[in-house]
């Protein structure tokens, strides 16, 4: 005989914790990615012969190539960090949090 009095399946599911730290990390890494894109554009513009976009920071080709590499590293790190934080925010939390002794026994 089944007892369904007061049973609520939503109580078995874990509560979603909206972590402000993960949201802040995702926003910060997105800003890093945008900053990396801007640095890559400034370095590429100087290497292609356009006037320097950052004044004295990238007058020579060596400085421009350093900006290009730094922008590429910032962009890559920002994208990787953003993807990690988004993946952690969207982890599967739909599984039931049942106690092990309530599960079926398998021999």
Residue-wise pLDDT for 27-55, tens only, equals 999 999 999 999 999 888 888 877 666 67
List Cα–Cα distances, 105 to 26, 100, 101, 102, in angstroms.
42, 9, 8, 9
pLDDT of residue 24: 92
**CA–CA gap between residue 99 and residue 72 (Å, rounded):** 48
Tell me the whole-structure pTM to 2 decimals: 0.65
Phi/psi at 87 (nearest 5 deg)? -65, -40
List Cα–Cα distances, 5 to 13, 14, 51, 72, in angstroms.
18, 21, 76, 60
CB neighbours of residue 29 within 10 Å = 21
Question: What residues contact 40, with CB distance under 8 A and at least 6 apart?
Answer: 67, 68, 71, 72, 75
Tell me what the mean pLDDT of segment 55-63 comes to: 76
For 61-98, write each residue's pLDDT tens digit: 888 888 899 999 999 999 999 999 888 887 655 555 55
Banded model confidence at residue 107, pLDDT cuts 50, 70, 90: very low
Tell me what the mean pLDDT of segment 3-12 comes to: 65
**CA–CA gap between residue 85 and residue 24 (Å, rounded):** 9
């Amino acid at each position: 005989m089944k007892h369904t009095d007061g049973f609520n399946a939503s109580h078995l599911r874990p509560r979603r914790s909206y972590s402000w730290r993960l949201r802040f990390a995702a926003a910060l890494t997105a800003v890093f990615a945008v900053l990396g894109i801007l640095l890559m554009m400034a370095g590429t513009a100087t290497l292609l012969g356009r006037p320097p976009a950052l004044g004295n920071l990238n007058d020579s080709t060596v400085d421009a190539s350093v900006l290009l590499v730094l922008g590429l590293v910032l962009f890559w790190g920002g994208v990787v960090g953003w993807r990690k934080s988004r993946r952690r925010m969207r982890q599967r939390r739909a599984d039931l949090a049942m106690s092990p002794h309530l599960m079926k026994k398998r021999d």
